[in-house]
Amino acid sequence: MPVRRIPLLLSLLLLASCGRRSGAERRGEEASPPAPRAEAEAPAGIVLVDGNDVLRLGKAEGGKGFVVNVWASWCGPCKREFPMLIGLREAYKKAGIAILFVSVDEEATRDAAIRFAEEQGLLDTILVAKPPLENLKVALNPRWAGMLPATFLYDSQGKLRYYFGGPVYENELSPVVFGLARGEPIQGEAIFGLAPGMDGRPPAEH
């Protein structure tokens, strides 16, 4: 079984960040430059990441692939699909697919993101995109126009296999994820044509 290196990579990101912090820079206070840093009061800390960091962390999981979900605390559709994704984590993990959540909240709304993540049971280190967002978009998928939420499925080598531009439901996501886990030739995208943060589709039936 491959050694899970993601905690080590997160530790290195945290250490690199802490070297740039002053004692006054803590969660809820204004930070001077937007340099990478760890926030002290998050469940297990906040780490600012760019797209390449996210892909490295996903590959470090050592599984068959990984899902990246990009969200924000102010995005209604993001918050509606979040519990579904949290609920799928264990089943995906058993299949060899990790889920990474990346918030695009800026400093002003980061506290709200932390609270929401805690309430939903995301007690891992919280990944937050470094500005500018364009760098994240280019690394994750140049075709991503920036709509939220956005969900990306990568194989174990960090190659994009499927992209959902907009809210995704379990019956759309799981067949693709489990297909990749089974070694099927997954390749495609579903772009729902929504404005950033908007969900024009009816609620999923239960």
Q: What is the per-residue pLDDT across 131-179, written as a single tens digit (0 to 9) for each? A: 989 999 999 999 898 899 999 999 999 999 999 999 999 999 999 999 9
User: In whole angstroms, what is the distance from residue 133 CA to residue 150 CA?
Assistant: 13
Indicate the pLDDT class of residue 45, thresholds 50, 70 and 90.
Answer: low
Token pair 């994009």 in the structure block, residue: 160
User: In whole angstroms, what is the distance from residue 118 CA to residue 85 CA?
Assistant: 14
The neighbour count for residue 141, using CB atoms within 10 Å, is 18
Query: Would you state the pLDDT for residue 190?
Result: 83
User: In whole angstroms, what is the distance from residue 114 CA to residue 27 CA?
Assistant: 10
Domain 6-21+39-191 has CATH 3.40.30.10: yes
Nearest Cα neighbor of 88 from 43, 120, 64, 112 is: 120
Query: Would you state the pLDDT for residue 170?
Result: 95
pTM: predicted TM-score of the whole model, two decimal places:
0.74
* Structural contact between residues 201 and 174, judged by C-beta atoms closer than 8 angstroms: no
Extract the tokens encoding 147: 């709509």
Token pair 């491959």 in the structure block, residue: 2
Reported for 195-203, long-range contacts at CB under 8 A and 24+ positions apart, including other chains, are 195/147, 196/75, 196/145, 196/146, 196/147, 196/148, 197/72, 197/74, 197/75, 197/76, 197/77, 197/78, 197/147, 197/148, 198/77, 198/147, 199/76, 199/77, 199/80, 199/166, 199/167, 201/167
pLDDT value at 108 more than 60: yes
